[in-house]
Chain A
Amino acid sequence: MGAGAISGAGMLAACDRKDEAGSDKKVKVMTTDGKLVEISESEISEVSHVISNEEARKGDPNKEYVMVIDLAKCRNARKCVDVCQRMHNLPQEDEWIKIYYMKDSEDSAPYWFPKPCFHCNSPSCVNVCPVGATFKRLDGLVLIDNERCIGCKFCMAACPYSSRVFNWKEEGFNEESDGLHSTIETSIPQKAGTVGKCDFCPDMARMGKLPSCIDACPNGVLYYGDKKEDLVTNGVDTVRFSELIYERAGYRYMEELGTRPSVYYLPPVNRSFDPEIGFKDLPDEIRERYDVSRSKIKKETR
């Protein structure tokens, strides 16, 4: 079986199936480099299903994706940021999941705050898009169709959580994505002049895999799952979502804005480490980002 499966979207486009029954039937197939070959049908296996635009816009109504972020464990390891950028071929300056250094008030302790897109249930960004390039699916995800986006950036103005980034340069987008087709679900490649954001990796969910950031976190901070199943997992532990939120007093960030996010946070209680370790081994250009906030915090605590 060394020949294996023929990958790429082009293959299924020009397929001449003569007879389904009988595994030795020969079939004409077009390869991605334009050659017409004939192989036996038994050797064809579908590598990836091409998701149509309509399918990608609908989503699975039996799912309701939710993320829980445990602030008591986050040490600013930044593995989630790295893997997300790698997976989506993002340039260095675009981060779809950002890690903030937060301090809620003068006397409260600082904590690390990973912030992906919240995939709100009353999304302001979706309300204001003039062409429907961003939309909310039945499974709760808010996605961007970068074939339709006109680059007006109104969604960026409407999002109160600064979740969206814009592709300012005309180039630098990797057009070939290792045979992955560009669909709304893969969000690759990003297009110049359009908006991008965290998408909860719906293409991974189709394969039963967790979004890359969940698995990448070495501290088990990010939990992901289906609220309808009431289960969330951080790649190691699987727990019931309702129990987790109940026991650990889960909340949503700035609930009063009324956007009803799909991301819950667990308060940074009983931390066994000093949040300052988040600055250890950081490259200077990243460490300096937090300087303004840190000095502001120092000013307030004085």
Chain B
Amino acid sequence: MKLSDTTVRELKRHAHQLESTSTFEKFMVVFMVLFVIAGIPALYIQYVEGHIVTGMRDNVFWGVYIVNFIFYIGISYAGALISGILYLLQVEWRKPIIRIAEMITVISTILGPIYILLCMGRLDRLHHLVQYARIQSPITWDVIAITTYLIGSVIFLYLATIQDFAILRDYDGLKVGKWRKPIYKFLAVSYQDTERQRNLIHRGITIMSIIIIPLAVLVHSVLSWIFGMTLRPGWHSTIFAPYFVVAAVYSGTGVLIVAMWVYRKLYHLEDIITIKHFKYLGIILLVLGSLYGYFTFAEYLTNWYGSEKWELELIYKLFSLDEFGWMFIFAAFVGVLLPIIIIAVPAFRTINSISFASAIVVIAMWVKRYIIIIPTLETPLLPIQETRIEYIHYSMTWIEWLLTISGLAVFCLFFYLYSKFVPIIPISETSETDSKE
């Protein structure tokens, strides 16, 4: 297809990273690869010696791996809701950031279930989940939901990238390795930018964005029901599903803002990712934060007010500073109030401050997932009468630490590699805007 001048200009300005790599980037890659490789011996040790090398024991049998799983599935909301909803609302300013959002979804939906695999005792029997599946089990619901969600996100991401693949295929001045061209050609599925094709793409993306929103809600509700369907204090709560959904969108938006800030700095995209994006997403973050704070308040107030022994024992643990008190304060207070203050006050609304607030949100949401899982498991209905400290309190071992950091490095690395292969700014869309202007 014929490429207009604006398109070429767009490419050069916002997709230059496909062609050149700065020294800082190279340094960054080495750093990330080191952390990824560091995870391999940890994996091996866990495989050979069994899960005894983690901090998990008979009382707290779900530890940091499950926390990571829920965290990553949570941040996957970036794509589904932000990208999907903003597309349907036909908001112009969404264009530069939708691919970042969608990619967060895809990578985290792949990485999250990998942590589940790390937590499973018998990986050699994974196929039993399909062969002997019982659909009464929330885990089966989860398997079906996450698989469907992953496929849906990949389709959504792909559809939105077809036009860019076509551009990259047809742009002769692209200074990239020869091996890339055939891949771009294949992925562009003979897109020639005819009117009919444009309509088809438009239709496809519309349908996917409509279906992905209820699907995302269902995925996170199902995830919450893994906890909600058990008879444990702090878990058997009726608002768990909406609570998880809200927390997920909150964390997803946070990650999106952080990713935006990183790419903006890394690839010098200051002119296209502007203060406007940060402000609008910041306001969305503010609204979601308030909603999340409201749910948290409702949940804990109700638990504290009623006199049920088990709930009160858990509340005591969460508010006592020798136990989980500091973590709870961080997750429920700092993680909600700080971003709200930063974003609510117009004077504080700068790109850096909003990104900082988002980083706090992301960390706070990880801590929140930890607070949901571990304290409840340390408070079973029958008293823990044990001498072994690792059976009474959970603490992460170095293997779990390493694999958590390694996973984060994997996330960053793959995100980075993707941005070197595919333009992180949708060229086709932004050049459209550009040419209209």
A residues contacting B by CB (< 8 A) are 93, 98, 100-102, 115, 124, 127-133, 148-154, 156-158, 160-162, 164-171, 191-195, 254, 257, 285-286, 288-290, 292-293
Q: How far is the CB of A92 from chain B (nearest CB, A)?
A: 11
Question: Cβ of B58: which chain A residues have Cβ within 8 Å of it?
Answer: 156, 162, 164-166
Are A101 and B385 in touch, CB under 8 angstroms? yes
> Which residues of B from 217 to 248 have beta carbons under 8 Å from A?
226-227, 229-232
A101, B385: Cα distance in complex, Å:
8
Which one of B180-188, B339-347, B376-384 is at the A interface? B376-384
For the complex formed, measure the closest distance between the CB of A265 and the CB atoms of chain B, giving whole angstroms. Answer: 13
Instruction: With A162-B59, A193-B51, A195-B121 given, name 14 new contacts (CB 8 A).
Output: A100-B385, A102-B383, A129-B134, A149-B121, A150-B126, A151-B121, A156-B61, A157-B226, A157-B227, A171-B50, A192-B121, A193-B50, A193-B122, A285-B387
With A153-B62, A154-B137 as contacts: A194 and B383 at CB distance below 8 Å: no
Contact of A153 with B121 in the complex, beta carbons under 8 Å? yes
Which of B48, B128, B229 is in CB contact (< 8 Å) with A148? Answer: B128
30 contacts between A and B (CB under 8 A): A102-B383, A115-B382, A128-B137, A131-B133, A149-B125, A150-B121, A150-B129, A152-B121, A153-B121, A154-B138, A154-B226, A156-B61, A157-B227, A158-B231, A160-B231, A160-B381, A161-B381, A162-B58, A162-B381, A162-B382, A167-B121, A168-B51, A168-B52, A169-B49, A170-B50, A193-B120, A195-B121, A254-B381, A285-B387, A292-B384
Report chain B residues within 8 Å CB of A153: 61-62, 119, 121
Note all chain B residues with C-beta closer than 8 A to A192: 50, 121
Complex formed: what's the CA distance from A148 to B125 in Å?
Answer: 7
Contact assessment for A127 and B61 in the assembled complex, using a CB-CB cutoff below 8 Å: no
Q: Which residues of chain B are within 8 angstroms of A160 by Cβ–Cβ distance?
A: 230-232, 380-381
| Docked-complex contact B125 and A129, CB < 8 angstroms | no
Which residues in window 129-151 of B have CB below 8 A to A? 129, 131-134, 136-140, 143
- Among A150, A285, A286, the one with the most B-chain Cβ atoms within 10 Å of its Cβ is A150
Which residue from A131, A154, A292 sits with its C-beta under 8 Å from B385?
A292
B56 touches A288 (CB 8 A): no
1/0 contact string of B55-69 vs chain A (CB within 8 Å): 011110110000000
- Tell me if B386 counts as interface (CB < 8 A to partner A): yes
Q: Is B388 interfacial (CB-CB < 8 Å)?
A: yes
Docked Cα-Cα span, A194 to B51, in Å, equals 11
Partner of A193, one of B121, B133, B143: B121
Number of B residues contacting the other chain (C-beta, 8 Å)?
45
**Max chain A CB contacts within 10 Å: which of B121, B131, B134, B136?**
B121
The reply to whether A151 and B122 contact each other, CB–CB distance below 8 Å, is yes
Q: How far is the CA of A209 from the CA of B121 in the complex (A)?
A: 34
Q: How far is the CB of A102 from chain B (nearest CB, A)?
A: 8
Q: Which of A115, A154, A169, A288 contacts B52 (CB 8 A)?
A: A169
Q: Are A148 and B138 in contact (CB under 8 A)?
A: no
CA distance A257 to B139 in the complex (A): 22
A195's nearest neighbour on chain B, judged by CB, is B121
User: Is there an interface contact between A166 and B50, defined as CB atoms closer than 8 Å?
Assistant: no
Q: Mark interface residues in B101-123 (1 if CB within 8 Å of A CB, else 0).
A: 00000000000000000011110
Nearest residue, chain B, Cβ from A296: B383
For B387, the chain A residues whose CB sits under 8 A away are 285-286, 288-289
Question: Which 9 A-B pairs rank lowest in CB-CB distance, beginning with the nearest?
Answer: A151-B121, A193-B121, A170-B50, A130-B139, A168-B52, A130-B137, A131-B132, A193-B122, A131-B128
User: Known contacts A124-B231, A150-B126: does B50 contact A168 (CB below 8 Å)?
Assistant: yes
**Pairwise interchain contact B230-A293, C-beta atoms closer than 8 A:** no
Query: Is B231 touching A257 in the complex (CB atoms < 8 A)?
Result: yes
Q: Which among A93, A160, A168, A290 has the greatest number of chain B C-beta atoms within 10 A?
A: A168
CA distance A192 to B436 in the complex (A): 64
Asked if A157 and B139 sit within 8 Å, CB to CB, the answer is no
The contact of A169 among B50, B120, B136, B139, by CB within 8 Å, is: B50
Is B382 touching A127 in the complex (CB atoms < 8 A)? no
Q: How far is the CB of B364 from chain A (nearest CB, A)?
A: 25
A206 to B57, CA, bound (A): 34
B139 CB to closest chain A CB, in angstroms? 4
B87 → A minimal CB distance (Å): 35
> B125 and A150: CB pair below 8 A?
yes
Cα–Cα distance between A101 and B383 once the two chains are bound (Å): 9
**With A and B bound together, what is the CA distance between A227 and B126 in angstroms?**
39
A157/B120 contact (C-beta < 8 A), A131-B129, A131-B132, A152-B139 known = no
Q: Looking across the interface, which residue of chain A has its beta carbon closest to that of B116?
A: A152
Given A131-B128, A131-B134, A168-B56, A150-B382 contact (CB < 8 Å) = no
Contact yes or no, B385 A293, CB < 8 A: yes
Q: How far is the CA of A192 from the CA of B49 in the complex (A)?
A: 10
Chain B proximity of A291: nearest CB distance (Å): 8
CA of A129 to CA of B136, assembled, Å? 8
Report the separation of the CA atoms of residues A99 and B386 in the bound assembly, to the nearest whole angstrom: 11
Instruction: Name the residue on A nearest B130 (C-beta).
Output: A131
What residues of chain B lie closer than 8 Å to A194, measured between beta carbons? 121-122
Min CB distance A172 to B, Å, is: 9
Q: Kindly state the separation between the CA atoms of A290 and B386 in the bound complex, as whole angstroms.
A: 7
CA distance A98 to B50 in the complex (A): 25
Cα–Cα, bound, A179→B59 (Å): 33
Q: Which of B139, B381, B385 sits near A290, CB closer than 8 Å?
A: B385
Residues of A within 8 A of B380 (CB): 160, 162
Q: Which of B52, B61, B132 contacts A157 (CB 8 A)?
A: B61
CA distance A61 to B23 in the complex (A): 74
Compute how far the CA of A257 lies from the CA of B138 in the bound complex, rounded to whole angstroms. Answer: 20
CA distance A157 to B385 in the complex (A): 18
